[in-house]
Structure 1
């Protein structure tokens, strides 16, 4: 970059003509430009901003090579810029910012600097659309053509203005130095010197007027430059407006001629920037419609089921009432039948007729009640069929809804995968773009630092050259200053030699001024190059600040990337939750659909068992009523026979009381020889005796009948008890079946979301509680799977597990204790062995020999015991008594250990190796 600037300056210095007068420059500037000038965006930056510069930037070779584009290429450029989301330098917001050029004003003797102000249009950056749209393929930016001659002319004017300013500053400095030097000579001013002083004052005023005039000209030149730049800006805007208008006309023509081509052109952009919104909206709306339809269907089904359950409960209550009335009628009918028989036997025919009429009415009432029960049962069956029809509608609806939800789930998975794929691609593109921007900024930072180093080297080189070229002058200047001070001191000391030294002093002043002019001319020669270096440094600083701004914007872009990644993750999490909800609803519908036939079959089985048990119970109740009626009739006959027997006994007793008196009367008549009267009484006596005999026969007959009735009653009572027990069993079975029917009904009602079932639910719960308390054991026995049993099994399993854990802990603790005991035994044995070793050391030869013999004998006994025990082990093993064999084997191991200990002791302590030989000899 530094070489480019340097080459450009060299070519300008070689080829540029000397600066024209200011009037001619103004005439040239008032001429309209051939083409507007516009600075292109730096290195394709994606950020949009405005640059306000108080010094016109130098032209580079890249800008000089730019040529105006043809009309077709300009149209394509406008089209690519309109399709891209990247803010280009040709936008309206960018056009509002322009380059402003100002010439520096002299503030002090050595302060000449050029200020660069960078302004980033933050509003335009904020208006940049969020999302991944800016990842579209960036079209290459076409440079805008500029007028090189006008640019060089403006640059020469700026250089000329800088030179004029520097000359003015030098003149002012000279005048100030001269005035300072003349102050020391004011005391001895001669008329000639006063005249020279006035001449210098007039020249100073003229010089100041010339400086003011030049400043006004420079001001006017600056204003003209601003107007010129504004005209260029307006011209560029008009040109771009014409290009956009032409592009709109061409696009309208393309749309009118070939809509298919237009759709194909936009297809790629739609696929890249949108996530199939049609798929999203369609299946989401379809899912909502399916769920609304499902909720509506379930609410209607629940309402119908609730009404059916309520109607069935009312029918059951009415049937129960009718059955109670039927039992009352049957019992009343039995009583009236017995009463009618009594009346017939007592020949109370009118009362028997009344009872017959009552019996007919009761029979009609029984028939009527039977018909009502049949009607209610038919209505109950219709409601049951209606409920089965509803379930029959539920099953296909749930299957169809489940299939729809399966399709929705498939679309949701497809949409989630598509969103995940596109989101990952967009995030990758965004990260790649950020990395590219970072690399670009890093490379540009490196180039800028290199350029800064080159500028420092150039500045140092120029300063070194300037110092080298002014070294002799500065030395001479120091010598002259020293000489001047010496002379001044001599003048102070030697007032009388003042006139002699004036000429010499004037000559020294003239030489000093000429030397200063030489130094200033050399400085002026290098000030222009130093100014250019300073301009380049200012540009580099401006570029560094723009790089910092771009880096901050990249960091903002990275923050947006992280935010979009979080949004992407949250969206994926939300889609996963929706998928889980859809799967859960599908599984629920599958369970419901599978539960419908299962519930139907279960309800049919339970209801069939309940109806069969109820029917059997009613049949047993009828048979029990018939047996009870037979018992009542027999008891009635027995009571009637007892009553007749009592009457016969009373009559017999009366006749037996009359018979002795009649015999006495007959004897008295015979004694009185009234044979006729005696014959009559005798006939009466015979009649009484015959009656007594008949009564006795009747008594015997009644007693036989009563005995037979008692036997019949006993038989029938046995049958009654059997039937009563059977009825109780059937009734018990019926109530248990009733419990399961109510339990199943309660489960189905609890699944129904309907507000009018609270009272029905409470009634069913109360009845279930009564039946459960009454038949708790039987219900547990008849239930196939019970939650209570499961809880008990789980509790039992937990107890077993806890007990198993406790046993393991106890076993581990016992094992640890056993190991500790073993360690203690081992330690004690070791201590005993140590003690024995100590004792052995203290033993005498005789004691050692006796000790060895005793240990050998003990070893021999152990071997004998081991052989016997091994034989026992083999015997038990042959008999398959493995537990006893294991116990004996443990004892064998223990004895073997002891024998081995003795053998080792004798071998190590006493060097005895012939234990087995001595045992055989013994």
Structure 2
């Protein structure tokens, strides 16, 4: 692995090869250059050359002539050498060469002479040959990757662009020449040689047009070739795509066969599994980081599975919410129909009593229609509830699919984690070995260079001593001559001064000066003769010094190479450290994902059980509430019927009283008429009136009987109403409690459902969550205290469970919760026993208090202390009983048996009053402030 990294680093360190487009452009530039331009020879090894070269060149030839004339052999070799220099040279050569050649040509055309300017810039970094100790650093020649479709297409596009540029340049040149020709033609009107210039310009125009046509033909041919190349590339790409699709189909077929094998229980499956295990074992021996792709594939599968499950859950929750809304709407319609049914049934009874049979028949038809509508609504509600249960079952099935999938994914991630740890350990081991070897080699090279440096320093000192010794000998032998030379020089200067000062003695001094010059020359010759004797030795010393300087320079380059190698070593160590940190982070992420999957897999059965319990509790409470509502409606219907009968009786009573009052008003007049007829001796008329009076009196007596009957019936109806209202109030109170319990259960159901929905990442749940939050807020504001009480009880139980074996206690609590209904009778018996114990304790306390009050008159100090201790013990016993009863209150409240909890709470209040009375007595009589503080101190 480290070898691969070294090769990749060496490849990145080597200078990049020039792109193919640059080589094409250079060749085309070379083709356009005239052949008689002198070619710049490549620089020798180690040379550094920068400069500009101006060469007189002939006028440019046409493109046909350039194509016909072959390129010089030296230039072809230069092209080959430039192409070869673009690659990295082999390490077996004497030196590495990295050259970047840039040739800039600018052609300036004039009328007769064309001066071509060529600027050649060559940068050569010469690297000395490495010593034998650095053999491990030899660079391999990087393998040139095969040309891809994109590179070929880029080459073709660059060629097209270059052709267009050439064409544009040619058109511009032609336009410039035409402009020059026009100017010359204008000037030729005033020149005597107009005809000759005109013919010459015509010839040039013809030649230019021919060149332009030929260039256009060549460009068209190039474009055709480029189009053919593009078509070939497209065909190759299509073939590659077909091959890729075929291989993809084959891979899918293999996967399908593998899935079929895994789904079956045949011996072929076992063979396949064994084969795959053997392959995995063989791959583990040559471990690499291919498991990263498997990890990515697992995470993609997990993400896709979670997204699909979340989508299905979201759809189920939305559908359930819609069903709940429809059920509520249907229940409201059902209540309206029931209320309408009661009204029509009462109205029908009234019509029957009033003998309005036609109206009663119409009401009967309406009642049948309403009853049919009620049955239809009931059937619809049942269908909606069935659909709701189907969706709930579908959600449970999804959770059932989640649990094994999470377990399987967790196992696969466990295998990935094992491979990751193994790969990290292997990478750590190999990296440490490589770094140790590299550090050892660096230390060896440092020691070798240090030793060589010491030897060169010793040699340098010896050479300095030798040179100093030779200089000393030479100085000693030339000492007299140098003294004489100094004297003559001083004398010469004095004479020159004298000549300058005394021009009069010029002729005399000239002769002396000539003589002195002759003597000076002779002495110089003697000095040179002596120096020539030592020149050979000094040359040898100088050669040794140059060699020593070369060796010092090579040592400096080696030292620089060692420093670069140390830098590479540090960089590799940093890469190694960063890779280990990255592997550790990746391992941590895999562990976190595994733990998350384990938590999710463990939460699935808990969530299912919790949702089942909460939903079952809510459904039972809802069913009980609906049953109580039906009973309450039935009682209300009875009360309405009785009130209607009472109102009808009162109306009949008013009618009878009105008739009775009318008859009582008629009776005195009839008596007066009868007396008048008797007085007039009209006995027959008096007999008729007498019969009428008797009939009126009989009707009055009948009306009085009906009045008494109506009054008795009203009193009976009032008694029945009072009795039914008592049962109505009890049922109403029971319904309110059940409805309250139902809404609290509904709160916990919605809270659990909202928690599950918030974990789902799906875009269509915003409206559902907002509706659920609004409903939860309303319920919380309405039943805040009860919700806190239930939540506190549940959290206390959860804390106790977490302290003592969570899973076992959760199962026991769930079983006890499921068996609550079957243990109600046993709990009632326990409640009765506890109440009897409380009453007995209360009687004992009262009896003891009475005895203490009787004995309080005659008590000594010892008796007072005994009495105080007894009262304290009694206070402590009451406190213990209160704690036990408070625990029972919490248990009953958790089981939603609020009546029993209320009874025990009353007993707790009574015991608190008793304890407060004991504390008050001890404070007033014995000055004991507080028993609670003493208990805390004890």
Candidates 614, 619, 633, aligned match of 1:606: 614
Task: Give the CA deviation at 1:467.
Answer: 6.5
Whole-Å separation in 1 of the counterparts to 2:749 and 2:758:
14
Deviations 1:81-135 (A, max 9, x none): xxxxx999743646999xxxxxxxxxxxxxxxxxxxxxx985779999xxxx989
Task: Give the CA deviation at 1:438.
Answer: 2.1
Aligned to 2:626: 618
Aligned to 1:361: 369
Whole-Å separation in 2 of the counterparts to 1:671 and 1:475:
209
Work out whether residues 310 and 757 of structure 1, in 8 Å CA contact, stay in contact via their aligned partners in 2.
Answer: yes
Deviations 1:170-224 (A, max 9, x none): xxxxxxxxxxxxxxxxxxxxxxxxxxxxxxxxxxxxxxxxxxxxxxxxxxxxxxx
Candidates 756, 759, 762, aligned match of 1:754: 762
Equivalences for residues 164-179 of structure 1 within 5 A: none
Aligned to 1:648: 656
CA shift in 2, pair 1:466/1:277, >3 Å: farther
Deviations 1:881-920 (A, max 9, x none): 9xxxxxxxxxxxxxxxxxxxxxxxxxxxxxxxxxxxxxxx
Equivalences for residues 815-894 of structure 1 within 5 A: none
Deviations 1:151-175 (A, max 9, x none): xxxxxxxxxxxxxxxxxxxxxxxxx
Candidates 397, 402, 408, aligned match of 1:394: 402
Candidates 340, 343, 361, aligned match of 1:332: 340
Aligned to 2:729: 721
Whole-Å separation in 2 of the counterparts to 1:563 and 1:637:
104
Aligned to 1:435: 443
Work out whether residues 398 and 590 of structure 1, in 8 Å CA contact, stay in contact via their aligned partners in 2.
Answer: yes
Candidates 397, 412, 415, aligned match of 1:407: 415
Whole-Å separation in 2 of the counterparts to 1:694 and 1:284:
107
CA shift in 2, pair 1:678/1:395, >3 Å: same
Whole-Å separation in 1 of the counterparts to 2:361 and 2:401:
60
Aligned to 2:354: 346
Whole-Å separation in 2 of the counterparts to 1:87 and 1:365:
98
Task: Out of 439-448 and 557-566, give the one that drifted further.
Answer: 557-566
Whole-Å separation in 1 of the counterparts to 2:675 and 2:486:
216
Candidates 93, 113, 132, aligned match of 1:91: 93
Aligned to 2:389: 381
What secondary structure, in the 3-state scheme, does the structure 2 residue paired with 1:641 have?
A: helix
The answer on 1:631 being equivalent to 2:639 is yes
Deviations 1:828-866 (A, max 9, x none): xxxxxxxxxxxxxxxxxxxxxxxxxxxxxxxxxxxxxxx
Work out whether residues 135 and 426 of structure 1, in 8 Å CA contact, stay in contact via their aligned partners in 2.
Answer: no
Task: Give the CA deviation at 1:615.
Answer: 1.0
Aligned to 2:570: 562
The answer on 1:321 being equivalent to 2:329 is yes
Task: Give the CA deviation at 1:716.
Answer: 1.0
Task: Give the CA deviation at 1:288.
Answer: 0.9
The answer on 1:780 being equivalent to 2:788 is yes
Whole-Å separation in 1 of the counterparts to 2:134 and 2:461:
36
The answer on 1:308 being equivalent to 2:307 is no
Whole-Å separation in 2 of the counterparts to 1:733 and 1:520:
130
Work out whether residues 424 and 580 of structure 2, in 8 Å CA contact, stay in contact via their aligned partners in 1.
Answer: yes
Whole-Å separation in 2 of the counterparts to 1:516 and 1:714:
160
CA shift in 2, pair 1:660/1:123, >3 Å: farther
Whole-Å separation in 2 of the counterparts to 1:354 and 1:574:
87
Aligned to 1:821: none
CA shift in 2, pair 1:538/1:786, >3 Å: farther
Aligned to 1:26: none
Work out whether residues 50 and 94 of structure 1, in 8 Å CA contact, stay in contact via their aligned partners in 2.
Answer: no
What secondary structure, in the 3-state scheme, does the structure 2 residue paired with 1:417 have?
A: helix
Work out whether residues 46 and 125 of structure 2, in 8 Å CA contact, stay in contact via their aligned partners in 1.
Answer: no
What secondary structure, in the 3-state scheme, does the structure 2 residue paired with 1:303 have?
A: helix
CA shift in 2, pair 1:124/1:458, >3 Å: closer
Equivalences for residues 78-227 of structure 1 within 5 A: 90-91=92-93, 93=95, 122=125
CA shift in 2, pair 1:336/1:94, >3 Å: closer
Aligned to 1:445: 453
Candidates 574, 587, 590, aligned match of 2:598: 590
Task: Give the CA deviation at 1:293.
Answer: 0.7
Whole-Å separation in 1 of the counterparts to 2:699 and 2:128:
143
The answer on 1:285 being equivalent to 2:287 is no
What secondary structure, in the 3-state scheme, does the structure 1 residue paired with 2:576 have?
A: helix
Aligned to 1:551: 559
What secondary structure, in the 3-state scheme, does the structure 2 residue paired with 1:453 have?
A: helix
Larger radius of gyration: 1
Considering Cα pairs closer than 8 Å and 6+ residues apart, tell me whether 1 or 2 has the greater RCO: 1
Equivalences for residues 495-514 of structure 1 within 5 A: none
Aligned to 1:70: none
Task: Give the CA deviation at 1:683.
Answer: 4.8
Work out whether residues 412 and 579 of structure 1, in 8 Å CA contact, stay in contact via their aligned partners in 2.
Answer: yes
CA shift in 2, pair 1:573/1:694, >3 Å: same
Work out whether residues 398 and 593 of structure 1, in 8 Å CA contact, stay in contact via their aligned partners in 2.
Answer: yes
Deviations 1:47-96 (A, max 9, x none): xx9889xxxxxxxxxxxxxxxxxxxxxxxxxxxxxxxxx99974364699
Aligned to 1:810: none
CA shift in 2, pair 1:753/1:786, >3 Å: farther
Whole-Å separation in 1 of the counterparts to 2:779 and 2:684:
87
Candidates 450, 455, 459, aligned match of 2:463: 455
Whole-Å separation in 1 of the counterparts to 2:362 and 2:487:
173
Whole-Å separation in 1 of the counterparts to 2:287 and 2:793:
48
Aligned to 1:847: none
Aligned to 2:544: 536
Deviations 1:425-467 (A, max 9, x none): 3333333332222222211111111111222333344555667
Task: Out of 339-348 and 682-691, give the one that drifted further.
Answer: 682-691
Work out whether residues 610 and 741 of structure 1, in 8 Å CA contact, stay in contact via their aligned partners in 2.
Answer: yes
Task: Give the CA deviation at 1:717.
Answer: 1.3
Whole-Å separation in 2 of the counterparts to 1:308 and 1:135:
71
Work out whether residues 310 and 760 of structure 1, in 8 Å CA contact, stay in contact via their aligned partners in 2.
Answer: yes
Whole-Å separation in 1 of the counterparts to 2:576 and 2:385:
63
Aligned to 1:736: 744
Whole-Å separation in 1 of the counterparts to 2:792 and 2:607:
16
CA shift in 2, pair 1:448/1:674, >3 Å: same
Work out whether residues 624 and 723 of structure 1, in 8 Å CA contact, stay in contact via their aligned partners in 2.
Answer: yes
Deviations 1:314-352 (A, max 9, x none): 111111111111111101110110011111111111211
What secondary structure, in the 3-state scheme, does the structure 2 residue paired with 1:783 have?
A: helix
Whole-Å separation in 2 of the counterparts to 1:764 and 1:591:
26
What secondary structure, in the 3-state scheme, does the structure 2 residue paired with 1:308 have?
A: helix
The aligned length equals 535
CA shift in 2, pair 1:661/1:475, >3 Å: closer
CA shift in 2, pair 1:451/1:786, >3 Å: farther
Whole-Å separation in 1 of the counterparts to 2:126 and 2:594:
50
CA shift in 2, pair 1:134/1:737, >3 Å: farther
Aligned to 1:267: none
CA shift in 2, pair 1:328/1:665, >3 Å: same
Deviations 1:539-578 (A, max 9, x none): 1121112112222222222222222222223222322322
Candidates 648, 657, 666, aligned match of 1:658: 666
Work out whether residues 289 and 423 of structure 2, in 8 Å CA contact, stay in contact via their aligned partners in 1.
Answer: no
What secondary structure, in the 3-state scheme, does the structure 1 residue paired with 2:375 have?
A: helix
